[in-house]
Structure 1
Amino acid sequence: MHHAAPGWTPSPKDPLSPEQPAQVRRILRLFRPYRGRLALVGLLVAASSLVSVASPFLLREILDVAIPRQRTGLLSLLALGMIATAVMTSVFGVLQTLISTTVGQRVMHDLRTGVYAKLQRMPLAFFTRTRTGEVQSRIANDIGGMQATVTSTATSLVSNLTSVVATVVAMLALDWRLTLASLALLPFFVWVSRRVGRERKRITTERQKQMASMSALVTESLSVSGILLGRTMGRSDSLTRNFADESERLVGLEVRSSMAGRWRMATIGIVMAAIPALLYWTAGMLTQFGGPAFSIGTLVAFVTLQQGLLRPTVSLLTTGVEMQTSMALFQRIFEYLDLPVTITEPQRPVTLQTVRGEVRFENVDFSYDRIDGHDQGDGHDRSDGSGRTGAQSGSGRAEAADRNGPAGERRRLTLRGIDLSVPAGSSLAIVGATGSGKSTLSYLVPRLYDVTGGRVTLDGVDVRELSFATLSQAVGVVSQETYLFHATVAENLRFAKPDATDGELRAAARAAQIHDHIAALPDGYDTLVGERGYRFSGGEKQRLALARTILRDPPVLILDEATSALDTRTERAVQEAIDALSAGRTTLTIAHRLSTIRDADQIVVLDGGRIAERGTHEELLAAGGKYAALVRRDSETASGGGALEVVRTGAEDGGAGREPTRPEHRAKGGAELSPGGGTADVAVG
């Protein structure tokens, strides 16, 4: 399982942290855009509370005046008054619920879209180190769990607080001694509710983590890939047991969450229900020992008010508990909202109206330690970046893999001192062992990663100074792992250009050599491609991805092992489409199959994070270095039905490669074989 790296997932804060008041203020700021509606809710709450406390006073007049004195007119008027207060309270309550629910749902919408927008701005490294299910759980479960709090708890808090204040004032107006007797145990109630709230918050944090873990397991194991893997490996029963274990742990946490403090809150309810008996006893004692006598109407009105105080008081205590629970959910959401966005658009971005496509790498360093949040500084020694033809020494590779920070600690560099120039319209092929940084180097151009040192330029402008719109329009990426949405073919293609006409879709599909296949489908371009495109073969998905890129029409094209997982026949068809797409564009090819790079204007061999060799195919063969060795080994293994991939291990690798690697298949004698078979390949990584 892939868990979020320490640099991306902040550790949970102490539930009793002194930062909690700041968190409360932050939550309140979420409601700031809706303060006008909330003010209206406040008016409705105040009116409802004032009207509701009038009813006991009307009851007192009925018992003490209207009935004893047989004043039927007054009795009718007072009875109508009680009915009117009930109607008004109900109407105010409905309006209050409507407005508060609307405001709450708008706040929920703002939170969901805020988190989603933040995640859209996160660098690629965040997603390579965070489980998809964890991200989904934060948006769905955590924000969903806050719904009751956001939509009703805040309004309930104001409503109940207003009711309590109004009722206490009315009780004081009737008799201050009975009021003090009623409120004597209030500090105890508050103390109990705070204890329960803290306990609930701790359990809620555990429960949400467990829900995220279970959500991640579902996402991973019930995807098409997960189902295929589970069944072909005979692990379906094992996965079911794993899910049952995760669910069982969640059951325990749900029970603990439901029962946390229940006995304490039940005790409060019992005591509150017993208070009327205490009031009758107190009134009797005061009268017996010389105090003023209480009229029946006053005593009944007071007990009615006290009973009316019971519901909002218990609700206030419960609200306090629920808000503590929700604080844990808000904390998890704020953790995502507070993640640093390391790749940002400059305040005054440069927009290129016309992009020629000249790409330069100037003394470029790159380390994954930095994007993980562990970079300690910028000072380090660079290589000469000469890129001379020939192999480097082992010590040079080790040097390329590490650098010393201010504290003398060693940190790994995936790329070091890279100097490259790719003229507009030319092609560059990048080869090297797994983990040598090939994909990483190409991903620096569209700023999927940012350099640690040096710079990458497009038409002479540092890519970090360009607008995101310019970069996305200028650079197209086609990778081995093609992603298609669960939508129609047309919708998948229009993701690159939403306003593309049907004619443009067909033209792009023809250029990618996939139009005839689409047209032969019963629903044509309206055919659903299925989850992650599983209704299409690998080659068909690649050609759909190429068609999508053709619609974008980028001057710079990055082909990241776009044909490495295809069989020879399918590769030939896809390669023809790639050749058509590459014509006249600056092309960076992460090479897997040798046949895809023979005609490249430049070939660069990466080794240990440095450029070991560069030149054309013929020049590198004549030099007799690493590239020539790869070609010789390709020739020796081609007849064995496998495609060679060179993989370094141990000290030879130098620890430089931290980019994600793909599964390999091993041939006899320990050679790494690509899954494609048939044609001699060079390394991936």
Structure 2
Amino acid sequence: MRRTSRSALPVSAVDRPPAEEASLWPTLHKLGPYLWQYKWRVIFALACLVGAKLANVSVPLIFKQMIDSLSGSEQALALPVLLLILYGCLRFSTSLFTELREILFARVTQRAVRRIALEAFRHLHELSLRFHLQRQTGGVSRDIERGSRSISNLISYTLYSILPTVVEISLVLVVLLANYDAAFVLITLLSLIAYVLFTIKVSNWRIAIRRRVNDADSAANTRAIDSLLNYETVKYFNNEEYEARRYDQQMVDWEDAATRSQISLSWLNLGQQIIIALGVTAMMWLAAAGVVDGRLTIGDLVLVNAFLIQLYMPLNFLGVIYREIRQALTDIERMFALLAVNREIADAPAATVLAPGPVEVRFSAVDFSYEANRQILHGVDFTIPAGHTVAVVGESGSGKSTLARLLYRFYDISAGSICLNGTDLRQLTQASLRTAIGIVPQDTVLFNDTLFYNIQYGRPTASRDQVLAAAEAAQLAGFIDILPDGYETRVGERGLKLSGGEKQRVAIARALLKNPPVLIFDEATSALDSRTEKAIQSSLDSAARGRTTLVIAHRLSTIMQADQILVMDGGRIVERGTHTQLLEAGGVYTQMWSLQQQEESGERL
């Protein structure tokens, strides 16, 4: 039997565990709690398994009695009839118990796969933004896909292939030892040991080849997904052939590794068949010699032959099972590696829920670094009173958007504190913190679904009328009304079917629908034209009224009414005050204002 597989281990930000860690029993131990939820099903299924094997081993014994009785006097004609009936019942019992086992255990396997896949999915969403900025989407998706599929395979192979094989071999050896010469048992045991040792040794050698196939397949898959996600960029630079060549380079590696894997598999199969052939020949020689000498009957010869056939099938299958289990473990280790990734951001043991109502935000001497050798924020200190608006301006890279990420607790600060209503946000549950904050990000990414779905995502329980009202407030309703499918229009992957301004208006509608006490506008109108910006600005001002609002802005004309404006440079607040106060100070803000006024005058000309 030959099997080939293109399943692979993804290349991701998570380091691969060493090969020796992918062992059977620790993995089964991790799976145990998921299976034990249905313990009675498991117990009954195992009972059916043993019953099936007892019936299967009894069949050759009945067959021997039939042969011996037929070779005797004709007066014993009634005996073979009864034996035939028993023979048929045992044959049916084997299939009956096997199918009952599958029926009982089907729910157990599928539920375990579902729960583990869901746990991995949830865990990925709980990992920090730092992890997701480093990961490769194609690789992580393959982790979950192959890991889930391999869990099902591992459970089936281990509990319903290895165990039945061991039970059947044990029963056959007992029968041979009780009824025949010890040489039969010795030859059987030697064949088994030689087969198992050869299979394990060669299969372990093939693991390195398997890993190379996996790595090459994952690299090709990641390369393809990355290229397709950046379809527009590929087209901009006319690089279709360049991308095809890069993809083919990865596929060449996969082709070489897969070829080696198939050739090594053929050598493994050939070696296994040699061992089995030698064992079968020796057993039949002994049995035939016994018949010639008169020590054994024709029925004994048939019994030994039947046992050899029954042993041959599970023994041959045992080699396949071992290879499949090793491959499944190789795939599952990546999924468990993901589950083992430490959550950088986690709720404190005694974390409290942020109470509903108005929220005051206070940054106190906040330092922050994405990397140890590159500090982003230096002693940032400001307060947004409940219901007030604070705007932050500055050059690109000055740390403006980092403030929003820290307020959302995508990262933990290096020093200082960020407090909401006097409580450090690290002492609040992340769920209550993020429920209280709505954001319109600079780069809006939408789900590959309908406009209605993407707007309603801000509050999945919102009614249709509330969704339509939010779209109206974001100046989006007019655009949607002229679309053939209206709110059911699909936006494409990452919203590529919409313009930048349309995507940003969807984000605004989503934030308005969420209706939180704290709002963050991270350059929320940067992708809009001047006319649309002015139309939406009134909606943003209305939405911000009575809420604690942090506005990160590029166009200074959009934040003139802010209660306080912070000017950042190099991760520090260098100026603060109202629009009028900052203009009168004649500092950095005044220079920025003058420059933007000149640019707008040039655009009007």
What TM-score, normalized to structure 2?
0.91
Which sits farther off after the overlay, 418-427 or 622-631? Answer: 622-631
Q: How far 1:285 sits from its partner (Å)? A: 5.7
1:234 aligns with 2:238: yes
1:424 corresponds, among 380, 386, 399, to: 386
Identify the residue that residue 203 of structure 2 maps to in structure 1. Answer: 197
Which sits farther off after the overlay, 427-436 or 8-17? Answer: 8-17
Matched to 1:281, the amino acid is W
Identify the residue that residue 216 of structure 2 maps to in structure 1. Answer: 210
Identify the residue that residue 51 of structure 2 maps to in structure 1. Answer: 47
Q: Aligned residues: percent identity? A: 32
1:317 aligns with 2:319: yes
Identify the residue that residue 349 of structure 2 maps to in structure 1. Answer: 347
Matched to 2:203, the amino acid is G
Does the 8 A contact of 1:546 with 1:577 survive in 2?
no
Q: How far 1:68 sits from its partner (Å)? A: 1.5
Does the 8 A contact of 1:436 with 1:608 survive in 2?
yes
Q: How far 1:368 sits from its partner (Å)? A: 1.6
Q: How far 1:147 sits from its partner (Å)? A: 4.0
Identify the residue that residue 277 of structure 2 maps to in structure 1. Answer: 273
Q: How far 1:550 sits from its partner (Å)? A: 1.1
**Alpha-carbon distance between aligned partners in 2 of 1:198 and 1:597, rounded to the nearest angstrom:** 65
1:113 aligns with 2:115: no
**Alpha-carbon distance between aligned partners in 2 of 1:150 and 1:50, rounded to the nearest angstrom:** 22
1:499 corresponds, among 439, 445, 461, to: 461
Deviations 1:239-280 (A, max 9, x none): 122222223322333333344343133221233134332123
1:92 aligns with 2:97: yes
Which sits farther off after the overlay, 594-603 or 228-237? Answer: 594-603
Identify the residue that residue 144 of structure 1 maps to in structure 2. Answer: 149
Identify the residue that residue 304 of structure 2 maps to in structure 1. Answer: 302
Identify the residue that residue 682 of structure 1 maps to in structure 2. Answer: none
Deviations 1:469-497 (A, max 9, x none): 32222110101221222222222222222
Change beyond 3 A, Cα 1:112–1:496: same
Identify the residue that residue 582 of structure 1 maps to in structure 2. Answer: 544
1:469 aligns with 2:431: yes
Change beyond 3 A, Cα 1:565–1:521: closer
- Matched residue pairs, number? 593
Q: How far 1:30 sits from its partner (Å)? A: 4.0
Identify the residue that residue 659 of structure 1 maps to in structure 2. Answer: none
1:38 aligns with 2:42: yes
Deviations 1:392-414 (A, max 9, x none): xxxxxxxxxxxxxxxxxxx3221
**Alpha-carbon distance between aligned partners in 1 of 2:391 and 2:202, rounded to the nearest angstrom:** 64
1:598 aligns with 2:566: no
SS of residue matched to 1:184: helix
Q: How far 1:284 sits from its partner (Å)? A: 5.5
Identify the residue that residue 26 of structure 1 maps to in structure 2. Answer: 30
Q: Which has the higher helix share?
A: 2
Identify the residue that residue 13 of structure 2 maps to in structure 1. Answer: 9
**Alpha-carbon distance between aligned partners in 2 of 1:220 and 1:98, rounded to the nearest angstrom:** 42
SS of residue matched to 2:408: coil
**Alpha-carbon distance between aligned partners in 2 of 1:64 and 1:349, rounded to the nearest angstrom:** 79
Change beyond 3 A, Cα 1:238–1:98: farther
Which sits farther off after the overlay, 302-311 or 480-489? Answer: 480-489
Identify the residue that residue 367 of structure 1 maps to in structure 2. Answer: 369
1:104 aligns with 2:106: no
Change beyond 3 A, Cα 1:51–1:418: same
**Alpha-carbon distance between aligned partners in 2 of 1:142 and 1:199, rounded to the nearest angstrom:** 22
Deviations 1:557-616 (A, max 9, x none): 111121223333333333333222222222111111121222222222222222222222
Which sits farther off after the overlay, 463-472 or 278-287? Answer: 278-287
Identify the residue that residue 512 of structure 1 maps to in structure 2. Answer: 474
Does the 8 A contact of 2:365 with 2:381 survive in 1?
yes
Does the 8 A contact of 2:418 with 2:424 survive in 1?
yes
Deviations 1:189-208 (A, max 9, x none): 22211123323433333333
Q: How far 1:415 sits from its partner (Å)? A: 1.4
Matched to 1:355, the amino acid is G
Identify the residue that residue 560 of structure 1 maps to in structure 2. Answer: 522
SS of residue matched to 2:295: coil
1:628 aligns with 2:565: no
1:60 corresponds, among 61, 64, 69, to: 64
**Alpha-carbon distance between aligned partners in 1 of 2:23 and 2:283, rounded to the nearest angstrom:** 42
Matched to 2:200, the amino acid is R
Any gaps of 5 or more consecutive residues in structure 1? 1-5, 370-374, 376-410, 642-677, 680-685
Change beyond 3 A, Cα 1:470–1:523: same
**Alpha-carbon distance between aligned partners in 1 of 2:232 and 2:601, rounded to the nearest angstrom:** 31
Identify the residue that residue 250 of structure 2 maps to in structure 1. Answer: 246
**Alpha-carbon distance between aligned partners in 1 of 2:183 and 2:276, rounded to the nearest angstrom:** 17
Identify the residue that residue 326 of structure 1 maps to in structure 2. Answer: 328
**Alpha-carbon distance between aligned partners in 1 of 2:512 and 2:337, rounded to the nearest angstrom:** 39
Deviations 1:427-477 (A, max 9, x none): 112122322221111221121222222211111121122233322221101
Q: How far 1:309 sits from its partner (Å)? A: 0.8
Matched to 2:53, the amino acid is S
1:135 aligns with 2:140: yes
Does the 8 A contact of 2:17 with 2:337 survive in 1?
no
Identify the residue that residue 661 of structure 1 maps to in structure 2. Answer: none
**Alpha-carbon distance between aligned partners in 1 of 2:507 and 2:149, rounded to the nearest angstrom:** 35
Matched to 1:235, the amino acid is N
Deviations 1:83-114 (A, max 9, x none): 21111111222222333443222222122111
Does the 8 A contact of 2:13 with 2:134 survive in 1?
no
Deviations 1:29-50 (A, max 9, x none): 4433233222122111100111
Change beyond 3 A, Cα 1:146–1:237: farther
Identify the residue that residue 675 of structure 1 maps to in structure 2. Answer: none
Identify the residue that residue 649 of structure 1 maps to in structure 2. Answer: none
SS of residue matched to 1:606: strand
Identify the residue that residue 6 of structure 2 maps to in structure 1. Answer: none
Change beyond 3 A, Cα 1:30–1:206: farther
**Alpha-carbon distance between aligned partners in 2 of 1:19 and 1:163, rounded to the nearest angstrom:** 25
Which sits farther off after the overlay, 332-341 or 313-322? Answer: 313-322
**Alpha-carbon distance between aligned partners in 1 of 2:14 and 2:527, rounded to the nearest angstrom:** 37
SS of residue matched to 2:79: helix
Does the 8 A contact of 1:561 with 1:589 survive in 2?
yes
SS of residue matched to 1:143: helix
Matched to 1:533, the amino acid is G
SS of residue matched to 2:497: coil
Does the 8 A contact of 2:22 with 2:329 survive in 1?
no
Does the 8 A contact of 1:102 with 1:151 survive in 2?
no
Deviations 1:129-169 (A, max 9, x none): 11222221212244335543344453212222222222222
Change beyond 3 A, Cα 1:577–1:240: farther
Matched to 1:431, the amino acid is V
1:548 aligns with 2:510: yes
Change beyond 3 A, Cα 1:253–1:177: same
What TM-score, normalized to structure 1?
0.81
Matched to 1:170, the amino acid is V
